[in-house]
Every structure is written in structure tokens, then in C-alpha cells.
């Protein structure tokens, strides 16, 4: 894949991911009743937080962010439009929120993988794809006082890691390949939402609650037996 194609597809995925996550952050801020400054902060964090974390992990200067003037303007315009949209339109967005979130995840995961491919080993490409795809969402949710979606919801980060792996292995190389991968990751993310695919989990909260309940029942039973024996 020549440099021109690399830059074109890189820019396309950057724009798609930036818009999807900037709007997502703005809506979360409005749901939490933040003012307009909070809307812009959460929107920018959602759109660029993952890229900043990726750069820190792979040793790229964070100041590279300030060279992305076009993406910053794109995010600001997307957030401003979101802020002034009628509520009924935002409700429509909410109905399709998972879809746009899937688009952002897929676009940024591929963008992050392309950023690292050819410069770093496969493991770094996978991490770059994952952190670019999920990093902004994690920071957004933490700032909004929510449990991060990636840590509690359906399979999420796995799809970003998968995108990084296949790009790092050069299974998807051409512009057409990457567009096909974008569709595949988006579809699988939506399938995981639809069918609630989840990674294995172990709830210590439930187990400990059951343990305490069992212990209380045992103590209550012993107390009753002691009373019966005492009266006998």
C-alpha cells in the first residue's frame, strides 16, 4: 500500500472516529447536566483521549495532537451541532448510540493500528489499536462518574484488539481491505450488543453476599437450637 493510500485511509478513519466519539462525549455531558464547557471537555476527551494514551504508550510526543487542526475543528463543529440539536433528534441518536459507538470503535482501532504498523512489533500494534479505540471512552466515563463501558458491557475491547492483530499481521493491507475490516468490526460489535456476548466474569459481590447470608442463616439456626436445648 503506497503512502498516498495510507494517508487517505488514515484520514478517513480519523474523521469518522473523531465525529462519532465527539458527539458521544457531548451527549454524555448533557445527560449528566454539564454546562457547555463540560460538553466540549467530554467531547474532546472522547475524541482524542485514546490517541493521547496510544502516543504515550508507544513513545510518540503527545504534542502531535496540536498538529491535528483539521480534526480538532471537526470535533468542535460536531459538538456544537450536537449541543444545539432539538431534543427529539438527540433521542433518535440515542436509539442508534450503539451503532455510532461501534463506528467510532472500529474507525479508531484501525487508525491506531495503521499508526503503529511498520514501526513497532505486533504486540504494540494490538495495544495501539485497543487504546485508540477505547481510551477516550474510558476517560469520558470516568469524568462523567460512570463505570467505564469497556469494563462492564458486552465484548468491546476484543474487537479493537482483533483489528490491530489482523492489520499487524498484514492480513488486511489495501484500502479496500481496510474498508472491509471496518465493516466487519462494526458488524461484530453490533452483534455483541444484540446478542449480549460477554467475556467470562466472576462476581465476588454476589458470592460474598451469598456467603454472608449463609453465615447469618447458620448463626440463626444455632441460636434456635441453643434456645431449644436451654428450655429442655
What string of DSSP letters covers 173-213? Answer: -SHHHHHHHHHHHHHHHHHHHHTT-------HHHHHHHHHH
The DSSP call for residue 172 is S
Mean pLDDT of 28-57: 91
Enumerate the β-bridge partners of residue 120.
Answer: 117
**Contact between 162 and 136 (Cβ < 8 Å):** no
pLDDT at 154: 60
pLDDT at 75: 93
Q: Is the pLDDT of residue 215 over 80?
A: no
* Range in 37-51, 100-114, 201-215 with the lowest mean pLDDT: 201-215
Task: Report pLDDT digits (tens) over 119-142.
Answer: 889 999 999 999 999 898 889 889
Backbone angles phi, psi at 86, to 5 degrees: -60, 150
Query: Treating both helix axes as pointing N-terminal to C-terminal, what angle do 87-95 and 97-116 enclose, rounded to 10 degrees?
Result: 70
Distances from the Cα of 87 to the Cα of 33, 100, 121, 145, angstroms: 14, 18, 46, 23
pLDDT at 128: 92
Pick the residue with more confidence: 109 or 63? Answer: 109
Sorted by where each begins, the domain ranges of the chain are: 3-201, 202-232
Mean pLDDT of 26-37: 91
Enumerate the β-bridge partners of residue 117.
Answer: 120
pLDDT band (50, 70, 90) for residue 194:
confident
Q: Is the pLDDT of residue 152 over 70?
A: no
pLDDT at 225: 62
Average per-residue pLDDT for the chain: 82
pLDDT band (50, 70, 90) for residue 213:
low
Pick the residue with more confidence: 111 or 215? Answer: 111
Mean pLDDT of 67-80: 90
Pick the residue with more confidence: 9 or 143? Answer: 143
Amino acid at each position: 500500500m503506497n503512502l498516498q493510500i495510507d494517508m487517505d485511509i488514515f484520514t478517513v478513519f480519523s474523521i469518522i472516529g473523531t465525529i462519532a466519539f465527539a458527539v458521544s462525549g457531548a451527549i454524555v455531558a448533557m445527560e449528566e447536566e454539564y454546562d457547555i464547557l463540560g460538553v466540549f471537555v467530554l467531547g474532546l476527551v472522547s475524541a482524542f483521549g485514546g490517541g493521547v494514551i496510544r502516543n504515550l504508550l508507544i513513545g510518540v510526543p503527545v504534542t502531535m495532537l496540536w498538529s491535528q487542526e483539521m480534526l480538532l475543528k471537526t470535533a468542535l463543529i460536531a459538538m456544537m451541532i450536537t449541543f444545539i440539536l432539538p431534543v427529539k433528534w438527540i433521542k433518535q441518536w440515542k436509539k442508534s448510540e450503539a451503532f455510532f459507538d461501534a463506528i467510532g470503535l472500529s474507525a479508531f482501532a484501525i487508525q491506531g493500528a495503521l499508526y503503529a504498523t511498520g514501526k513497532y512489533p505486533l504486540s504494540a500494534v494490538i495495544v495501539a489499536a485497543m487504546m485508540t479505540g477505547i481510551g477516550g471512552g474510558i476517560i469520558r466515563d470516568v469524568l462523567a462518574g460512570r463505570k467505564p463501558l469497556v469494563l462492564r458491557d458486552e465484548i468491546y475491547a476484543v474487537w479493537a484488539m482483533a483489528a490491530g492483530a489482523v492489520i499487524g499481521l498484514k492480513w488486511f493491507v489495501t484500502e479496500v481491505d481496510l474498508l472491509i475490516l471496518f465493516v466487519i468490526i462494526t458488524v461484530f460489535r453490533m452483534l455483541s450488543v444484540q446478542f449480549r456476548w460477554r467475556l467470562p466474569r466472576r462476581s465476588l459481590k454476589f458470592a460474598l453476599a451469598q456467603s454472608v447470608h449463609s453465615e447469618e442463616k447458620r448463626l440463626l439456626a444455632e441460636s434456635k437450637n441453643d434456645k431449644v436445648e436451654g428450655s429442655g
